[in-house]
Structure 1
Amino acid sequence: MASTIRRISGKFQDSKGSYLATLDLDPSTGLINSIHKNVLIQDPKSDELAFDPEKYLIFSGFGDIHVHAREDESGKHKYKEDFQSAGLAAINGGVIHIADMPNNPIPPTDDRTYAKKRELADHSPIRITLYAGIGPNTKPLHSHVPYKAFMGPSIGELFFYSNEQLENTIRHYKGCNVSFHCEDPEILEQNQEAKYHEDRRPAIAETLATDFALYLIEKYELVGKLCHYSTEEGLQKIIAAKKKGVKVSCEVTPTHLYFDRSMLNDSNRHWFQMNPPLRGPEDKNALLQGVKDGWIDYLATDHAPHSIEEKLKGTSGISQLDTYALFVTWLHKSAGVSLEKIAEICSENPGSFVKEFLPKEFGNGFGKIEEGYCASFTVLDFNTPTTFKKEDIKSKSGWSPFEGFTFPGSIRSVIHLGKTVR
C-alpha cells in the first residue's frame, strides 16, 4: 500500500546539475511546497524519506510520451493491455505519467470517442495524456488535446494512403500539436513483397516522410513532433529544420538506441519486428550521438504490448515500458549520456509536452523540481546492477526484449504525488 510522504531529502538531479536538498510536500495536493537546498533530513520520521546522497539520485518523475495502452470503449484489445496494467508497468519502470496513442479499434477522433476513452484512462494509477487521432477527413476536437497522424500503414486502420490525402486533412489542424509516424505509404506499398520486415519498411520510407512532415509542420504552423526516430539521414533533416527555426521535436526508443539490424537472426527477428524497424549500426550510433548533442528531445518507448502468440505470428511492436528507468542506467553508465541530458529527455521535456493538457489538480505539472510541481520522483541507484527477469514484467504482454539483460543500475523508489508507489 502506498504511504504518504511529507518530506523528502537527498541528492536531486535536473538538466542543470545535481544538488542536495530537502523538499516539503503538501499531502493534500501531492505538490511540492518548498525547497531547502543544502539541507538534509538527519533523523527521518515515519512520513519522511531520506535517501543517502552517496548512493541514490532523485529525478523528477520520468514520463513516457509514446505508449500504446490498447484500451478503448470496444474492449477488444484489453487482453494486450489496459489503462490499469499500463499504469502498473509504468510504475514498475520508474515512470509516473504516460501519453497514449490513438490507433485503437475505436480511435478517439472526435469529441465523443475521445471523452469515452478519457473516462477509461482516468482509472489508471498514474496520469495518462491521450492523443486524438488524425485520419482521412477528421477535424480538430473542441477541447485542447495533442494529435497523432500515421502517415502510412502501421498497427490499426488510422492512416493515410497518400501525401495529398494527408495534407487535405492536416490543413484543418493549423497551429495544433501534432505528432507524426513518418513512413511514406507509397514506399511501403512498393516494398511490401520483400523477404524481411526491415526491407519492407526501408529507411527511405522514413526519410521521405520526414521531408513531408517537416513541410506540413512549417506550412501549417504546427507544434510538430516526429515519433520513434530511426535513421541518421532523417535525423540530419530534423537538425537542419531546428536550425531553421521550425517548431519540431523528436523521440527515440530504447530499442533503436541499443539494438540494430546486425543483431537480427531467424530465431529473434519476430521479437524485434516493429515500425519503424531496426536500422544499421551507423544509424544507432548517430541517434545516440543525437541524444548527447541535444537534438533528440524525448526518450519514449513506443510500448506496444502485443501478446507472445501475436509476436510469434509476426505482429509489429515491442513491449518495453517495464524497463524504462533501468535502461536509463545503461544510457548513463554504458553509453555515456550525461545525467543532465537524462533529466532533460526523461523528466523535463516530457513534462513540458503534457503540461498544457493537464487538469488543474496537477498544479504546474510534471518534470521539474520546483514549488507547485507534482511531488513525483524516480529514485535511481546507478551502481547496483539489476538483472531483469520475465517474472519482473507487469505489462499484460508478458515479455520484454530485455529479459535476462543485466542493467548497470537499479530503481530504488518511485514516488507519485507524494506517495510511495514502488
Structure 2
Amino acid sequence: MILSGGIVCDPVIAPSGKRLDVWIENGRIKKIARNIQEKHVTRMDIKGKRIYPGFVDMHVHLREPGQTHKEDMATATRAAAAGGVTTVLAMPNTIPPIDRKERYQEVMSIAREKACIEVLQACAMTVGRKGEKLTDFESLKETGCLWLSDDGSSIQDQKLLFMACERLRLTGQLWVEHPEIALLAMGKPLHDGSVSRERGWQGQPREAESLAVLQAGLLAGLAGVRVHFTHLSSWQSVEAVRMLKRWYPGLITSDTAPHYLLLTEEDVKQSGYDPNKKMNPPLRKPRDRQALLDGLLDGTIDCVASDHAPHTQEEKAVGIEKAPFGVVGVQTLFSALVTLAKKQNIPSKKWLPWITLNPARILGIDRGRFAPGMIANLTIVDQETSWEVSEHTLFSRSHNSAFLGMRLDGRVLATYAGGKLVYEVGK
C-alpha cells in the first residue's frame, strides 16, 4: 500500500512536515519519497492530511488483570488507536500486581490475544508493590521486562531504594518513578493552595513531589542508574530535574501529562469540584503549568504521557474527597498537545518528539520515527478539525476524562500498527 500525497511529519526526516509518499509492505516501511511510482500496489490518496509516526505513551494503566470492570486490553488499546497511539507502557499496579515472571508472561499473553497495538509491560519493583521487599529484577529481565516501577505509589524506605539502585546497576533496567513523599502528600485530593484552603481542606504541597525527585535522583546518580520521573506537576520538580540533569548527564529523564499543561486548580473549582479532575499529583497553579511547558521547551522535561487511569462512573460519583485518583487520557494525548500547541504557537517540530522519538529513546525501542525497514506504526490526522470530548467520543470503558465537554484540536482519521489498520474514524 502507498499512502499518497500526505504531509509526512517525522521528528528526524521532516520535523516541520514534508509532502511525501509512504510505501508500506509486509507490515514495514519500504520507502518514503516524493511521487512513488509502483505498479500493482494499492494507492490511498490522503492529500492534505498529515502522517505521523505512531505515538508512544509511556504511562498507562490498562487495568487487566483484576479490574476489567474499568478497562481491559481490548478497550484500552482501541482507545489508544483512536488517539493515534501505537505503543504503550503499562504500569504494574494490576490485581494482582505484575511482580514476578509468571505474571509478566500471563499479562503479555493477554496482550497478544486482545491488544490491537503494541503493549510493553512494566513490572513492580517490590513484591506486591508494598515497598518492603525487592522483586527479582534479574528474572524479570530474562523474561523480557526492561522497565520497573511501583507506580501508583513510591518506595518510601531509602535503604530499600538504594538497594534497588545497586541491583539496577547490574541489570540496566529503567526505573520509572512515581515521585511522592507519602508523609507529605497524605492522599489529599487537591493541591495545597488557595482552592483547598477555601474548602477548609489540607492539600498536597509541591514538596511532596519535588523532595521525592531530589531523593530518588541523588540515589540514582550515586549508583549510576537511569531513573525516569513520571507525571511531574510542579515548578519545584522542574527545577529539581534541571539540576539533576546537570549533575548526572544521561541518567535523568522525565515526563508530564496533558492535564497539567492545560488545566490548573482553578479548573477544579470552576467545575464544582468535579471528581474527574482529581488525579495524583493534583492540578496546581498557573505558575506550575507555565514551568512545565518551559521545561518541555528547553528539554528539561523529555516527553508527555497520559497517565491513563480509568475508573467507573460509580467510583467517581462519591465526590472529590472520596473518589479514586486518576483520569483517562490515552485517546486525548495527541489532541491535547495540538490544542496546547495552537494556543501557545508551538511548532510541530518542537512538540512532536515529546510523544514519538523521545519516549521511544527512553524506553530503548526503535519507534517514533519513519525509516525504511521500520515497523509501519503510523497515524493519519486532520489537524484542522476539532472534536468534543464526551462519553460518546471516548472508546475507553470508563469515561473519567479531565477534558469532558472540551473541544480539542486535531482529529485522528486512521491508525496503522504493524501495517495493519487498527482504527478508522467512523468505524
TM range (shorter): 0.7 to 0.9
Q: How does 1:190-201 map to 2 (within 5 A)?
A: 199-201=202-204
What's the CA shift for 1:342?
A: 2.4
Match of 1:346 in 2: 355
2:319 is the alignment partner of 1:293: no
**1:277 and 2:282 are equivalent in the alignment:** yes
SS of residue in 2 equivalent to 1:18:
strand
Aligned residue runs from structure 1 range 48-67, under 5 A: 48-52=43-47, 55-67=48-60
- 1:301 to partner: Cα distance: 0.4
Using the alignment, how far apart are the partners of 1:223 and 1:170 within structure 2?
9
Write the distance in 2 (CA, Å) between the matches of 1:283 and 1:44. 55
* Structure 1 pair 79–250 and aligned structure 2 pair: CA distance change class (3 A): same
1:149 aligns with 2:145: no
AA partner of residue 21 (structure 1) = L
Matches within 5 A, 1:12-411: 12-15=8-11, 16-26=15-25, 28=26, 30-36=27-33, 38-39=34-35, 47-52=42-47, 55-72=48-65, 76-123=66-113, 124-135=115-126, 136-137=132-133, 138-140=135-137, 141-143=140-142, 144-150=144-150, 154=152, 159-174=154-169, 175-189=172-186, 199-244=202-247, 245-265=249-269, 267-313=272-318, 314-356=323-365, 365-411=366-412
CA offset digits 1:292-342 (Å, max 9, x no partner) = 222221110000001111112311001112212221320221232220122
Distance 2:77 2:188 in 1: 37
Amino acid at match of 1:202: P
Checking the alignment, whether the CA contact within 8 Å between 2:233 and 2:283 is kept in structure 1 is yes
Deviations 1:228-278 (A, max 9, x none): 011111111111222331411111111000111122227234221111111
**Could you tell me how far apart the structure 2 residues matched to 1:18 and 1:167 are?**
45
Structure 1 residues 35 and 198: alpha-carbon distance in aligned structure 2, compared to 1, 3 A threshold: farther
For 1:372-408, what per-residue CA distance to the aligned partner results, in whole angstroms no more than 9, with x for missing partners? 1121212222222222332011101134222221123
**Matched positions, count:** 396
Structure 2 CA distance for aligned equivalents of residues 299 and 198 of structure 1: 30
Q: Give 4+ residue runs of structure 1 displaced > 6 Å after superposition.
A: 43-46, 190-198
State which drifts further: 166-175 or 109-118. Answer: 166-175
Q: Which amino acid aligns with 2:387?
A: T
Q: Displacement of 1:367 after TM fit?
A: 0.9
Q: Following TM superposition, by how much is the alpha carbon of 1:191 offset from its aligned partner in structure 2, in angstroms?
A: 7.2
Stretch of structure 1 that moved more, 223-232 or 334-343: 334-343
Deviation at 1:126, TM superposition (A): 0.7
Say which SS state the counterpart of residue 326 (structure 1) adopts. helix
After TM superposition, give the deviation of residue 416 of structure 1 in Å: 2.2
Distance 1:161 1:329 in 2: 37
Residue identity matched to 2:312: S
Secondary structure at the counterpart of residue 175 of structure 2: strand
Deviations 1:127-147 (A, max 9, x none): 100001112322302424233
Which amino acid in 1 is paired with 2:120? T
| Distance 1:312-1:77 versus aligned 2 partners, 3 A rule | same
The TM-score, its normalising length taken from structure 1, stands at 0.86
Report if aligned partners of 1:20, 1:40 keep a CA contact under 8 Å in 2.
no
Which amino acid is the alignment partner of residue 265 of structure 2?
A: R
Structure 2 Cα separation of the partners of residues 83 and 204 of structure 1: 35
Structure 2 distance, partners of 1:101, 1:8, is 37
Letter paired with 1:215: L
Q: CA deviation at 1:184?
A: 1.0
| Greater mean alpha carbon deviation, residues 85-94 or residues 340-349 | 340-349
Q: Per-residue CA shift, 1:52-103, capped at 9, x if unaligned? A: 1xx322111111110000102xxx3011111111110101112111110001
Tell which deviates more after alignment, 5-14 or 335-344.
5-14
Task: Specify the SS of the correspondent of 1:271.
Answer: helix
SS in 2 for 1:384: strand
Q: Give the partner amino acid of 1:185.
A: A
State whether residues 160 and 185 of structure 1, in contact with CA within 8 Å, keep that contact through their aligned partners in structure 2: no
Q: Summarize the Cα distance change of 1:164–1:269 in structure 2 as closer, same or farther, 3 Å threshold.
A: farther
In structure 2, list runs of 5 or more residues that go unmatched: 127-131
Deviation string for 1:202-222 (max 9, x for gaps)? 210101000011112212222
Comparing 338-347 with 127-136, greater Cα deviation is found at 338-347
Give me the whole-angstrom Cα distance separating, in 2, the residues matched to 1:11 and 1:255: 28
SS, match of residue 385 in structure 2: coil
Structure 2 counterpart of 1:39, one-letter code: N
Structure 1 residue runs without a partner (length 5+):
357-364
Once the two structures are TM-superposed, the CA of residue 44 in structure 1 deviates from its matched residue by 11
Q: Given residue 173 of structure 1, which amino acid in structure 2 is its aligned partner?
A: L
Shift in alpha-carbon separation, 1:261–1:167, aligned structure 2, 3 A: same
Structure 2 match to 1:360: none
**TM-aligned CA deviation for residue 6 of structure 1:** 4.5
